[in-house]
Every structure is written in structure tokens, then in C-alpha cells.
Amino acid sequence: DVKVTQSSRYLVKRTGEKVFLECVQDMDHENMFWYRQDPGLGLRLIYFSYDVKMKEKGDIPEGYSVSREKKERFSLILESASTNQTSMYLCASSCLTGTSGRIGQETQYFGPGTRLLVL
């Protein structure tokens, strides 16, 4: 079974703090993703990575950065946390090609999420 783990389930930080959210997958997946989930807004992509040291901006990258130094690990960094970054953060991973061998059909496997509260 694919396992995606996130370093914390709940996190409380103060405005202005630097926050690190860690995600680890154990299936040797090339692709990794960070989303935030807010009520009524669904899942919004922050950043994704399709290879070590590679990163691409998603729909809402402002205020965030990422790091992927190893294939299995993808970190989300809030350089200076703000109250509007209070949210549920979800990490996901997928292999390069889906079961049909086609790019774009890959199943994304999600971690349990980190609920971040910024005070």
C-alpha cells in the first residue's frame, strides 16, 4: 500500500514564524504535491514537483515555498506565517504514469493532512 505521511496532524504557530511542513512517501513516486483545503473552496494546488530539486507553482503559491532534496520528501515552507494561512494542508504523491502507462492518469495518493492554526 502507498503510504504518504505528514510530519504533524495539528500545528499552532504565531504570525511571522517560519513554518515547515514535511511530507514523506514510500512508493518511489516522481510527483509530489502540496494543496490547501478550505471549506467551500475545495483543494487548491500550492506547488508541485515532478523530480528531485524541481518545482512548479500551482494556483496559489504566494507566501509559500517548497523544497525537494530527496525523491521521497517534499517540504512546504511558510516563510512568515500569516493568519490567512490557517488551513488544512494536504500532501499527495503520484507516479509518473498511471496504470495505463499514460501521463495524466496517475492516481494521487494523499496524506492525512496537517491542520495549521496561525495566531
Which stretches of the chain bind another protein, using CB under 8 A? Answer: 4, 31, 33, 40-45, 48, 50, 58, 90, 92, 94, 98, 102-113
| Residue 10 vs residues 45, 87, 115, 118: alpha-carbon distances, Å | 20, 10, 5, 11
Complex with another protein: residue 17 or 115, whichever CB lies closer: 115
Which helix (H) or strand (E) covers residue 4, if one does? strand 4-6
As measured in angstroms, the least distance from the Cβ of 112 to another protein is 5
As measured in angstroms, the least distance from the Cβ of 111 to another protein is 5
β-pairing verdict for 42-49 and 31-38: antiparallel
Q: Which three cell numbers stand for residue 10?
A: 495539528
As measured in angstroms, the least distance from the Cβ of 24 to another protein is 14
* Rounded Cα gap, residues 117 and 57, in angstroms: 23
Complex with another protein: residue 10 or 84, whichever CB lies closer: 10
As measured in angstroms, the least distance from the Cβ of 15 to another protein is 27
Mention every residue, 6+ apart, whose C-beta is less than 8 A from residue 100: none
Complex with another protein: residue 16 or 112, whichever CB lies closer: 112
